Chain A
Amino acid sequence: MRKIQLFFTALAVFAASGLAFAQSGEVTGVVTDAGTGETVPGASVVVKGTLTGAMSDANGAYSVKVSDKSSAVLVVSFVGYRTQEVQVSGRDLVDVALQIDATVLNDVVVVAYGTQKKEAITGSVSSIDNKGLAETPVASVDKMLSGKLAGVNISMTSGQPGAVSQIRIRGTGSINASTSPLWVVDGIPVLSGNIGLFSNSNSTLTSLNPSDIESITVLKDAAAAAAYGSRAANGVILVTTKRGREGQSSFSASAKFGVNWLQSDSGFRMMNAREILSYQRDAIFNAGMDPDDPTGSYYRPLSLLEGKLYDPIKEFTRVGNLQEYQLSARGGNSRSTYYSSLSYQKTEGIAYGISFQKFQGRINATYKLLKNLETGVNMNLSYSKQQDVPMQDLYYANPIFAGETLLPWVPLKNEDGSWNVEIPSNSYQNPRVTAIYDKQNDKNLANNTTVSLTWSPLRYLTLSTKNSAELHFSKGIRYWSPYSQGNGGQDPQLQTTRSDDTQLTTSNTATFNNTFGYHSVRLVLGQEAMKYKYTYDYINAPGVNDNIRFPQTAPQDKVTAKGGETNETLLSYFAIGDYNYDNRYFLQANFREDGSSLFGEDNKWGAFWSASASWNLSNEKFMRNVDWLDLAKVRVSYGVNGNNGIDAYKAYGTYASTQYNGVTGFLPNNIENKKLSWEKNKTWNVGLDFGVLKNRISGSIDIYNRKTVDMLLTKAIPQTTGFSSIFSNVGSMSNKGIEVLLNADLISNQDMLWTVSGNIAFNRTKILDLGDDDFLGTWRRTVVGKSMYTYYLYDYYGVNPANGEALYVAEDGSLTNQFSKARRHYCGSPEPKATGGFNTNFSWKGINLGVYFEYKIGGKVFLLNEHSYLESDGAYMSMNQLASAKNYWKKPGDTGVNPKPVADNTSNSNNFELDRWLENASYLRLKDVTLSYTLPQKWVNKVFLKDVKVYVSGLNLYCFNDVDFWDPEQGVTGSTAGQYPLTKSLVGGIEITF
């Protein structure tokens, strides 16, 4: 393609120079790549407003005649770069540095089983390259995607380094089967999700180094993803890692350092000592008791304020830090290429006792055995250690929850300054003591190796085989020390576990590629097989010796052991066909047949397919004269994808072993379903891509309807059957939405580039059918006709202005002070109305500033777990309360406030299931600000370096929101408990290439 364009450009230039009005001076110069500094051969240099032009030679040099050097403007362009206009301004020598253009349509994009020119894509695809990814202080690649791709929604239930994030592409498409996309790295589907054993959350994807990534493509609709068949229903994320390049070798070294800290931007905080004392004294008075009576249930004299006071949150958290070092090398010659990297990363979290460390290395190499036979190996190795303290639930040892609940006058330290564990109100635990003595960690060794062989026996035929082994060896240790528990201590207890995950994949394709006349055809035939095995062992040893922490030192009659194994297989055959007529009409069809061990014996095989077409209007003859329009392409697609994301053996009726009275027996644990089969997604997509004003403004719009049918559902059944639920294919749901993406180059010239871009996605999830049921669940329901996770809560009205009691709305709409008469009502869901992001990037002479915002509009969070304790109206007298709870009823006539606190409040005004805990989750987050400076070449060349870049980057620096909590991010269900909140980070770093 590039050759053809070169030819045409040359022809045009030749023709043009023949007609030129040969006069006046000559301008010369060199065209280079602004990013790498390498010369660009074959670039077109045309004098604006004339037909005069030239083409840069093999060294990037050009020479062009102009009529008037003072006023002439050169238009410099080359495929894959932004077209640039340069004022000659009387100079003889004009060097031009071209900026890579990530948005132009001629880019090649990685797609299912190959690459495609952006122009030829018929489905809905989003992609980003690695620019800016390396600077972001994150442990895994999924964290970098939030808000960057239209329709790709990233939620987090934990801000802990290394934690898993929840990724939803075009909404939540399943109730009980997987809702996460398939990750494919360099053509091989990989494991994703939580691999944590005892750690709070440990993402499999941390083994992948973000700096190794060349590009990420997200396949959103059926047409794009159908080639992955039974696993494509929730979209596919294709990650391509860096490969070697022919040419001079380059080495780079980088280091970054930073800090992370806890901060709420909504004004959320706990009461200080004075506030909570006054609150509790009121509560005690309101209960008819005397806070100054030393013999009363609650003795809360004002003199408590004169004793030593603590700020528990401050005592239990810290400013964390992170450091990261990397080395990489890249190069190659005509026969072989290589890319290799080595990295070390360490993050210490905001809570004492939390850290994440990782060593990681990668080699991607290719070697041409023969002219048409190439072999390659991609190998990634990583070793990580996650040290934790108990979080993600309301544990007494959870530093955040304990920090919220402990009363300021509770002595956290002993007289001698050591940490005090004798805290009755916190079950004799102190998170700082836990962090010192207890252990809770995971170690994970991961190896992902793919060996490939590619043979092109004929010009139009390529046969390729990729064989891959992905291995994760994990070991978890949890140790409860005798010293971390007061009140006489506890027996030390050791728990250890080891697990292996092994996934073997073979992927074999034959690709026919040919062009005849105006017709281009691509046909891929393929076969894939996957075998996955998981095993684990677990030992629980209560009463081990504190000095010799191994199971054999525990009383052997108390030691228990468990183990398990899970196997899963998948076998697939597929075909992909592309047809292109004159770069104007594009057709694509996919077909895939998958067999899976997960399903019932009657329904193991499923067929998936898609068909799509696009029409590039801008390449039509009649559009040639429309100057302002550079691109107008219409796409339409339809297809059926599958979802097999369920646990193994769900189709079998089984008994599981159970221990009682020294004997092993069996109890029923699963109901047989021979008909159990795939969940299917049927998706329509209509899209438009456009570019105007020489592509300075470009974008796309997609409209889709994704319908999930034969939904795999855990259907509740009466417990009188002995079971609570049965798993079967019933029900359907839909996700409909619109996605808009816009890019604009505000300024684009030789010295300066200023771009803005933004995306917005609207998605509506709607449950269509649940079989016999109208809804599932109790207080967070899946309801026919409504969104997933619709809240069905007791209707809290507010406070009775007359007496300060809580009021509820009863079934008949009247108000009642009786919680037992309160009605339930549907009151929203966590699903946002719109999600997206926008960013601006400004670069000028080596300085680059990127500012990135992410937002969610609409949707609710339900803060039941903490708030029912922390806004308890007196029910939890041993716990501190939210600062916002100060606003309570004090005198008749007060409205819009909390009920009056009453010690030992049993009115249920703090019941978990009150709509009182719902808050609007909308936010605008300053996700990422990065300022970098690339030192001028002439400086760095003197010290024999190629490139030096320094930067500072801030992650999540501020979040505009009104949620009365640490952060509005509460995961897809809108609720968390004892969460490690999202934190703020600031890093600085340097990258040197030589």
Chain B
Amino acid sequence: MKKYILLTISALAALTFTGCDDFLTEEPTTSQSDVLTLNTAEGIADAVIGAYSPLNSSAWYGAAYILNTEMMTSDGRRYPGTSHDSGRYTEAYALNWTPNSTYAGLWSGAYYVIASVNSVLTHIDAVSGLDEATKNNYKAECLFLRALSYFDLVNVYALPKGSASTSQTKDLGVPIVLTPDLTAKPARNTVDEVYTQIFADLDQAESLMDPSYQRSGTDPKGFASIYAIYALHSRAALYHQDWQAAADYATKVIESKKFSLWSAKELPEAYTQDLGGKEVIFEVYDSRNNSYNPYHDSVCNLTSPKGEYGDCGVSSDLYNLYEAADARKALIGTFSDGAYATLKYAGKGVGTPDANNIIVFRLSEMYLNRAEAVINGASGSSAVSDLSAIANARGASVQPATLSGVYLERRKELAWEGHLWFDLSRTGRDMTRTDVAGTAIPSSLPASSYKWAFPIPVREFNVNPNLRQNDGYSEN
């Protein structure tokens, strides 16, 4: 009897031990291993597309990048106590940032994109099954996304070359990370070094990308192209006061004849088109089907009179800048209580605005970049004709070819597209506003203030002792 029992037990044990390694192996089901992703042609292709995705996040172009910067200037206006006040974007409007409450989403979002493209760039050369031309186009897309990420990082968390800030940390940019390293605790590079990296990435991208390359998607302008690379180069050069490059790259876009200015008649509809219009060079294609769609916190819901919140209104300072005949005046509407609202993000559908593309680069900026560069000494074009091109297309009188003229046209043309804050900062001008909500809201920010650079998020200091906070803010 005993013998049988022992036999039974050992047989059972033998059965259960068999295949126990298989039994204990459960592979992820809804995700794919990084080995598979980075070492196959399909995986690399998917990883390149994936890197665009976070641009749509509410922490970046999906909302906060535009709204944080506009609300800190005289373009933005909160209307406290009204039906379109939900308490959002109060810190921005009050210029009241702390390392805890700072605009933290861009830091994590931009470095996430940087890490994603760094992984692709590190592995792509070893991948078989991709032809050289495809590899080059993929690399160019990655380099463009990296340059764009560093450009936004360095302007938000650091001060541009032309800043008049008296901050002690004026030269500090952001850490440059070019290869995947999970243990790195990098210190901040200088602003110059970051711009050098941006220009290096853009030069390389320009040389690698086939000029006819266009990735297919719902909206072709939602992906990088050679013109997007030129446009970013033009703006980055302008910000870093490399006037000739700013003008030359603007010229490359303008003379490509791929883009043309919207007419005064087209303008009111231009911003709510589903697919990038004729003036658009690169935009973030927004849709509820995007993984990073910001939903309730989208730029439409925060700005449109039809939006759910409508915290981010327009000031009469901006409205009053436009002449009556200026087509751009019609891009400012009103909330039900009469408060001004921008209509640049009024939504692509009807009813509740659920999505709106966010234009990152468009043609009129190229004219303005070139005009400003020329006024600052660049050659090869005429500031008068560039400023006239814009004014004529919009039905406005032409501004003089002076710095103040180009600044004013730039403000009117690019209002609510995330420019004014950086334009003031990089040209060392004060921010002043007259139409403000209550005495507690600062009506100006001197050009010398430390506040032109956002504080770096406090969580980074907790994990990276090599980092230094911007002057004026504490590290905790």
A residues touching B (Cβ–Cβ < 8 Å)?
A: 287-288, 297-298, 424-425, 427-428, 457-458, 461, 463, 487-488, 490-491, 508, 510, 525, 527, 529, 542, 557-558, 560, 563-569, 571, 595-597, 601, 604, 648-649, 652-672, 716-724, 726, 773, 775, 778, 820, 824, 876-878, 904-906, 908, 913
Which of B182, B217, B476 sits near A661, CB closer than 8 Å? Answer: B217
Bound complex: CA A487 to CA B336 (Å): 10
Which of B90, B114, B290, B467 sits near A660, CB closer than 8 Å? Answer: B290
Question: Is B126 at the interface (CB under 8 A from chain A)?
Answer: no
List which B1-54 residues lie within 8 A (CB) of chain A: 1-2, 5, 8-9, 12-13, 16, 20, 23-35, 37, 43, 46-54
Q: A458-B1, A491-B352, A527-B12 are in contact. Are A719 and B289 (CB under 8 A)?
A: no
Q: Which residues of A contact B29 (CB under 8 A)?
A: 564-567
Bound complex: CA A564 to CA B28 (Å): 10
Q: Which residues of A contact B96 (CB under 8 A)?
A: 906, 908
A655 close to B289 (CB less than 8 A): no
Which of A558, A657, A723 sits near B182, CB closer than 8 Å? Answer: A723
Bound complex: CA A655 to CA B142 (Å): 17
Bound complex: CA A889 to CA B457 (Å): 35
A652 close to B290 (CB less than 8 A): no
Which of B8, B441, B476 sits near A824, CB closer than 8 Å? Answer: B476
Bound complex: CA A508 to CA B352 (Å): 60
B182 close to A717 (CB less than 8 A): yes
B220 to nearest A CB, angstroms? Answer: 9
B150 to nearest A CB, angstroms? Answer: 11
B276 to nearest A CB, angstroms? Answer: 11
B26 close to A597 (CB less than 8 A): yes
Q: A297-B80, A666-B43 are in contact. Are A718 and B32 (CB under 8 A)?
A: no
A560 close to B16 (CB less than 8 A): no
Bound complex: CA A824 to CA B100 (Å): 12
A820 close to B49 (CB less than 8 A): no
Q: Which residues of B contact A716 (CB under 8 A)?
A: 459, 462-463
A424 close to B32 (CB less than 8 A): no
A87 to nearest B CB, angstroms? Answer: 57
Question: Is B94 at the interface (CB under 8 A from chain A)?
Answer: yes
A660 close to B23 (CB less than 8 A): no
Which of B2, B49, B116, B440 sits near A664, CB closer than 8 Å? Answer: B49
B23 close to A571 (CB less than 8 A): yes
A771 to nearest B CB, angstroms? Answer: 11
A564 close to B30 (CB less than 8 A): yes
Q: A655-B32, A663-B49 are in contact. Are A820 and B217 (CB under 8 A)?
A: no
B5 close to A666 (CB less than 8 A): no
Which of B30, B438, B462 sits near A904, CB closer than 8 Å? Answer: B438
Q: Which 9 A-B pairs have the closest CB atoms?
A: A722-B115, A665-B49, A665-B50, A424-B83, A662-B218, A661-B217, A654-B31, A653-B34, A597-B26
Q: Which residues of A contact B115 (CB under 8 A)?
A: 668, 721-723
Bound complex: CA A542 to CA B351 (Å): 12
A719 close to B100 (CB less than 8 A): no
Question: Is B86 at the interface (CB under 8 A from chain A)?
Answer: yes
A878 close to B81 (CB less than 8 A): yes
A653 close to B30 (CB less than 8 A): no
A758 to nearest B CB, angstroms? Answer: 44
Q: Which residues of B contact A288 (CB under 8 A)?
A: 439
Closest B residue to A465 by beta carbon equals B12
B89 to nearest A CB, angstroms? Answer: 13
B459 to nearest A CB, angstroms? Answer: 7
Interface string of B166-187 (1 = CB under 8 A from A): 0000000001010011101110
Bound complex: CA A47 to CA B33 (Å): 80
A424 close to B82 (CB less than 8 A): yes
Total count of chain B residues near the partner, CB < 8 A: 99
Q: A656-B31, A670-B31 are in contact. Are A297 and B438 (CB under 8 A)?
A: yes
B184 close to A660 (CB less than 8 A): no
A906 close to B289 (CB less than 8 A): no
Interface centre among B29, B108, B116, B440 (most CB of A within 10 A): B29
B298 to nearest A CB, angstroms? Answer: 14
A659 close to B291 (CB less than 8 A): yes
Question: Is B285 at the interface (CB under 8 A from chain A)?
Answer: yes
Which of B217, B223, B462 sits near A778, CB closer than 8 Å? Answer: B462
Interface string of B448-476 (1 = CB under 8 A from A): 00000000011110111001000000101
A597 close to B24 (CB less than 8 A): yes
Bound complex: CA A908 to CA B1 (Å): 81
Bound complex: CA A666 to CA B9 (Å): 49
Bound complex: CA A568 to CA B28 (Å): 10
Q: A490-B352, A778-B458 are in contact. Are A656 and B30 (CB under 8 A)?
A: yes
Bound complex: CA A662 to CA B49 (Å): 10
B53 close to A667 (CB less than 8 A): yes
Question: Is B288 at the interface (CB under 8 A from chain A)?
Answer: yes
Q: Which residues of A contact B222 (CB under 8 A)?
A: 660-661
Bound complex: CA A878 to CA B87 (Å): 11
Bound complex: CA A726 to CA B115 (Å): 15
Bound complex: CA A717 to CA B29 (Å): 26
A937 to nearest B CB, angstroms? Answer: 50
A411 to nearest B CB, angstroms? Answer: 14
Bound complex: CA A57 to CA B83 (Å): 84
Interface centre among B56, B83, B181 (most CB of A within 10 A): B83
Q: Which residues of B contact A604 (CB under 8 A)?
A: 24
Interface string of B270-301 (1 = CB under 8 A from A): 00000000000000010111111000000000
Q: A667-B50, A667-B51, A778-B100 are in contact. Are A661 and B35 (CB under 8 A)?
A: no
Q: Which residues of A contact B177 (CB under 8 A)?
A: 720-721
Question: Is B111 at the interface (CB under 8 A from chain A)?
Answer: yes
Q: Which residues of A contact B151 (CB under 8 A)?
A: none
A718 close to B463 (CB less than 8 A): yes
Question: Is B262 at the interface (CB under 8 A from chain A)?
Answer: no
B31 close to A663 (CB less than 8 A): no
B47 close to A463 (CB less than 8 A): no
Q: Which residues of B contact A663 (CB under 8 A)?
A: 49, 215-218
Q: A529-B23, A723-B182 are in contact. Are A717 and B463 (CB under 8 A)?
A: yes
Q: A458-B1, A571-B20 are in contact. Are A658 and B292 (CB under 8 A)?
A: yes
B18 to nearest A CB, angstroms? Answer: 11
Bound complex: CA A720 to CA B9 (Å): 56
Which of A558, A654, A656, A719 sits near B288, CB closer than 8 Å? Answer: A558
Q: Which residues of A contact B352 (CB under 8 A)?
A: 490-491
Q: A491-B351, A527-B12, A660-B56 are in contact. Are A719 and B34 (CB under 8 A)?
A: no
B4 to nearest A CB, angstroms? Answer: 8
Question: Is B112 at the interface (CB under 8 A from chain A)?
Answer: yes
Q: Which residues of A contact B118 (CB under 8 A)?
A: 722
A527 close to B16 (CB less than 8 A): yes
A597 close to B25 (CB less than 8 A): yes
Pairs A–B under 8 Å by Cβ, sample size 18: A424-B83, A458-B5, A558-B289, A560-B288, A564-B29, A565-B30, A649-B26, A656-B32, A663-B217, A667-B47, A667-B54, A667-B112, A672-B34, A717-B463, A720-B186, A722-B112, A778-B459, A906-B90
